[in-house]
Structure 1
């Protein structure tokens, strides 16, 4: 069983169907494919590339914009569907990485390589923040559509709070590689977005 891949074609097909749901405008297959492409770019830095790939595939598998426990539900799904495909420690690391996407704070691992993998994984998830302005704006519109049930004043206040919290961090990204590649643009994008939210409030 140990040689069985964590994510096989059958599982990819099953998960892809979840990501293709009609109410997913950003948290969809395109987001997963973008993260998998980044995992390919940085594969040489990953201690356990397969575990990171599994975390990418599962991290938004359950996504309901009205729910508060999507990450916990996605982690539970990963634990169920990956049971028997790896040792308990490896599956626990995958689950912890998925859970960490709720706050984007690093999970605590004893192992330095696992910490680095988690940092790279979380940075891949947030890389859209440092995209070119047009791509960032499209991302913001897509997320707004996912929360179309939230009234505009509530949306503006909530979104502004999220942006302020990220901008207040000493670093948005955990790894040196992603800070160099994405941090300056991410700060510009988010500051611009915040200004727009506050000026039209």
Structure 2
């Protein structure tokens, strides 16, 4: 077990209890799948950390943390139902270790929100999870560039032209939103930088490489 895996397992056991360690190990292992380049244990740790930092906006931090662990548990770029499969996996796993059904239902709802990252205005839990998941958009220049390269690597089977077209559509959808981050702290920390990063990547995508 790596140091990072041990850190994540420790967080899981604080949340779910040591008797649920095998379930935690299984979900962490999902983020170690060899085809992943961005949606890895590093992303999981980052989401958990930012969720903690934005926790003042949360109503049910327990549900948010469980949702963070499972939000990308199922991930394959060729599929269109990763979030739904992740939600179902979370539901079955959490019920099996005795998590309260109402908490499990909230976890499932939160994971499904990560399809669009567009929670309602009064949805504090959704705002925290979605902001934590999107926080990389507001990273510094070097970290954002590493994120963009990692996402491209996950789509390495897609031709450069098709990737530029598809990625540009995704970026433009984010840019067109009135706000990207729904918590006050998230907007203050990430909004401006995220818009700069998105615009810069979009400009680069629309210029075909030379040679």
Alignment TM-score, normalising by the size of structure 2: 0.86
> Which deviations, in whole Å up to 9, do the C-alpha atoms of 1:169-189 show, x marking residues without a partner?
000111111011000000000
Query: Retained in 2: the 8 A contact 1:131–1:182?
Result: yes
Cα distance in 2, alignment partners of residues 176 and 129 from structure 1: 16
Structure 1 equivalent of residue 77 of structure 2:
65
**Cα deviation, residue 10, structure 1:** 2.3
How far apart are residue 89 of structure 1 and its match?
A: 2.4
Question: Residue 72 and residue 65 in structure 1: after superposition, are their counterparts in 2 closer, same or farther (change >3 A)?
Answer: same
- Which residue of the partner structure matches residue 49 of structure 1? 61
Partner of 1:147: 155
Gaps of 5+ in 2: 1-13
Q: Is 1:98 the equivalent of 2:106?
A: no
| Displacement after TM superposition at 1:44 (Å) | 3.9
Consecutive unaligned residues of structure 1, counting only runs of 5 or more, are: none
Instruction: Provide closer, same or farther for how the CA distance between residues 45 and 174 of structure 1 changes in structure 2, counting only shifts above 3 A.
Output: closer
Compute the RMSD of aligned alpha carbons: 1.8
Give the aligned partner of residue 11 of structure 1.
23
Q: Is the 8 A contact 2:91 2:104 kept in 1?
A: yes
Size of the aligned set, in residue pairs, is: 193
- Structure 1 residues 25, 163: closer, same or farther in 2, change over 3 A? same
Q: TM-score, normalised by structure 1?
A: 0.90
Cα deviation code 1:134-169 (max 9, x no counterpart)? 100100100100011111111000000000000000
- Determine helix, strand or coil for the equivalent of 2:206: helix
Quote the Cα distance in structure 2 between the aligned partners of 1:140 and 1:90: 34
- Show CA shifts across 1:78-111 (max 9, x none): 0110115233322111101101111111169xxx
In the TM superposition, residue 6 of structure 1 has moved relative to its aligned partner by 4.0
User: Does residue 89 of structure 1 match 2:97?
Assistant: no
The whole-number CA distance in structure 1 between the counterparts of 2:15 and 2:195 is 38
Which of 173, 177, 182 is the equivalent residue of 2:181?
Answer: 173
Partner of 2:8: none
CA contact (8 A) 2:31 2:73 kept: yes
Runs of 4+ in 1 over 6 A off after TM superposition: none
